[in-house]
Amino acid sequence: MSRRFHAPIVLTLAFLTVVVVLLFTGGLFVRKVVGGAFRDAELVRIARVHLADMLKQQLDEETGVRGYSAVRIPVLLDAYYGGRANLPLYFRRVRADLEALKVTEALRPLHDAARTNYRWVHEIAFPLIAHPRSRQRLQLRGKTLVDRFRIDSAIIDADLARRTAAVNAGAQRAVVLVGLLALGAIVAVVLAAVLFTVQQYRLAQRLDRERSYSERERRRAAELRAAYEAEKRIADVLQQAFSERIFPAVPALSFSATYIPATEQAKVGGDWYDALQLSEDRVLLAIGDVTGHGIEAVVAMNKARQLLIGSALLDATPSQVLARVNSELVRAKSPIITALAAVLDTRTGEFAYCAAGHPPPVLLEPGSRARLLEFGSLPLGVDSGVEYRTRSVQTTPGTLIVLYTDGAIEYARDLAAGESALLRAVESAAECAAPNAAAVIRESIFSSQKVADDVAILTVRLSETGGVSVGGQAADSAISAEVRTRNARKVNPSRLRRSA
Amino acid sequence: MTDTEAIKIVQFKGELEIGRKGEIHDALAAVHDARAILVDLAEVSYADSIALTELLRFCVKAQREERPVALLIQTPQFARLIQYAGLASSFKVFAQNAEALEYLQTSIRS
């Protein structure tokens, strides 16, 4: 699944994760605030109870002393003694409560209340118990001190009440915060849903666009494919028709040829070869390659071939043949064509050739290694002023001459390796004495190599004795050429080696 | 304008194929009006027939217009290919940059 499909889900999950983390953190905070509020409220309640008990002890003391001073019954002092025993404990409790609640402002009234109690005990209770007769004045003063004690208690209680109010306010704020968090969570979830939905919508739109684009491209590719196949079919037919050559019936010569069309990926090119008997002893050999592929190349190839044959019939000097073809092609603004024209004289053994931007022939004489002949000049169709030169080689009986197009050596884009492979293949063809040398060369090179471009190979072998009769061979395919050559051939290849 | 300034250099690298036809054509067209042109093919290892055709047409046109052109070729494979195409025998091919420039400068002066 591609990144674009993951992105909306990842984004949404990331957003929801952030929301959950925020909600969780907020919940912990609210829990802490609310928990603190409840704890403080409980502490305030306990403090107020302690405060009430403290006041009650003071009142019990005061009531007991006042009763005793009135009726002199000792049992009435029990409350006084109880209060005296308990009050310090309640003072400490209330103090601890106030400190726990951090109501420090109430510590001062508490201190005052303790001091008031102390004064009441020493200034009122002790004298009254010891001298009950002066009770009226002391009782009045005692009442004043008790009132002061009440006031201090009331102040402390008020402070606690304020503390309670503050705690309640905090709790209320926490509750409000809980509400806000809940609302935020709802909004966040809604936003996440909206975000996810929008992303899904945009993704769907994009997929829809891409689907439409893919469909258009598929249709276009199908159209192109159909057009390509149609063109290739036509080009194949044309190429097949043009490459079906009838070799001349020349004694002392045996021909073979092969043509390998380009692979499926490439288009059919404009490779061709020809062999034409000019006179009893002279044969025109030609091979060429049109730059480019397809029908246009095949048509140009056919035109060049016709021009070449026509020129050869006027004057068979290879350089003159190519010069005339070149002039015509330049005039007609034809595609550039590489070609090689050669005339082989079976009587003298002279092999005269002229190359126009074309790979040189390979010559294998009995007893020698296969070798490349000299290079030629510029291709045809470039410039009408190009001068072509005829080169001549004296052959011996049994010589094998190989003409080929660049596809036979450029398949790996390494010319040195291609040339070596070709020369080895030519030697193999001579050694194994195969009736169809072109097929052997083809197999030798392309049994382990992929055909990258059209390949045409034309071979001609001179017999050792002359008088060889080769008639009417069609070399359109290696098999048919092989059969024909086998039937017609009278040269024993083993004699080639013997003569070497 | 000095001799050096009058020489325009166009450089290609790698394998020249049909897919680079436009690039080759444009690069050569950009220097077609120079007094002398150095086509630096030192780092070219291969050229198909389409690329060679572009190069060939350019060289022929320059020759027709009497603009000296020097081809700098250093890889053995491409040097061989140039021989096949007939360029080596029809145009000035050099293996050293200095030699190519010297030829062009001499051609300009004369």
pLDDT in tens, A114-161: 999 999 999 988 888 887 666 677 888 888 999 999 999 999 999 998
Q: Does A386 reach chain B within 8 Å, measured CB to CB?
A: yes
Query: Among A339, A353, A276, which Cα is nearest to A304's?
Result: A339
| Rounded CA separation A397/B84 (Å) | 28
Of residues A57, A152, A47, A58, the one with CA closest to residue A94: A47
Instruction: Name A250's Cβ contacts closer than 8 Å, sequence gap at least 6.
Output: A277, A283, A346, A470
Per-residue model confidence (pLDDT) at position A217: 92
User: DSSP label at A351?
Assistant: E
Helices (H), A72-134: 77-101, 107-119, 126-130
* Residue A485: other Cβ atoms inside 10 A: 25
**Is the distance from CB of A107 to CB of A170 less than 8 angstroms?**
no
Say if CB A340 and CB A361 are below 8 A apart. yes
B49–A406 CB contact, under 8 Å: yes
Nearest CA in chain B to A330: B57
Query: Cα A233 vs. chain centroid, distance in angstroms?
Result: 38
Q: What is the pLDDT of residues B54-110, one digit of tens each?
A: 999 899 999 889 999 999 999 999 998 898 888 888 889 999 999 999 999 999 887
| pLDDT score recorded for residue A198 | 87
pLDDT for residue A15: 77
pLDDT at B40 over 90: yes
Model pLDDT, residue A216 = 93
- Beta carbon pairs, A and B, within 8 Å: 61
B66 contacts chain A (CB < 8 A): no
Do A472 and A488 form a contact (C-beta atoms < 8 A)? no
Is A357 at the interface with chain B, CB within 8 A? Answer: yes
Q: Which of A292, A376, A414 is closest, CB to CB, to B77?
A: A414
Mean pLDDT of A61-72: 86
pLDDT band per the 50, 70, 90 thresholds, residue A267? low
Interface membership of A415 toward B (CB under 8 Å): yes
- Residues of chain A in contact with residue B56, where contact means CB-CB under 8 angstroms, are 336, 378-379, 382
Taking only the tens place, the pLDDT of each residue in A77-97 is: 898 998 889 899 999 999 999
- According to the model, what pLDDT value does residue A481 have? 34
How near does any CA of chain B get to the CA of A452, in Å? Answer: 12
For chain B, list the domains and their CATH numbers: 3-109 (3.30.750.24)
* Alpha carbon distance A60, A438 (integer Å): 138
Give me the residues paired with residue B94 across strands.
B72
Cα–Cα distance measured from residue A74 to residue A54, given in angstroms and rounded to the nearest whole number: 23
Assign residue B99 a region (left: φ > 0; alpha: ψ between -120 and 50; beta: otherwise): alpha
Whether residue B85 and residue A338 make contact (CB cut-off 8 A), yes or no, is yes
Residues of A in contact with B50 (CB under 8 A): 291-292
Q: Does residue A296 sit at the B interface (CB-CB below 8 Å)?
A: no
pLDDT tier at A285, thresholds 50, 70, 90: very high
Tell the burial category of A120 from Cβ atoms under 10 Å away from its Cβ (0-12, 13-18, 19+): buried
pLDDT band at residue B41 under the 50/70/90 scheme: very high
User: Between these two residues, A438 and A476, which has the higher pLDDT value?
Assistant: A438
A473: pLDDT strictly greater than 90: no
d(CA A343, CA A279): 11
Mean predicted lDDT score pLDDT of chain A: 83
- Interface confidence, given as ipTM, is 0.86
Directed axis angle between helix A77-101 and helix A107-119, to 10°? Answer: 160
For chain A, percent of residues with pLDDT exceeding 90: 39
State which residue of chain B sits closest to A415, comparing Cα positions: B77
> Per mean pLDDT, which range of A14-18, A124-128, A266-270, A467-471 is the poorest?
A467-471
Instruction: Locate the chain A residue with the closest alpha carbon to B58.
Output: A382
**CB A6: neighbour CB atoms within 10 A?**
10
B90 and A292 within 8 Å at the Cβ level: the answer is no
Do the Cβ atoms of A359 and B84 come within 8 Å? yes
Contacts of A167 (CB under 8 A, 6+ apart): A36, A37, A40, A41, A44
List strand residue ranges (DSSP E) for A294-426, in order. Answer: 337-345, 350-356, 362-364, 371-372, 391-394, 400-404
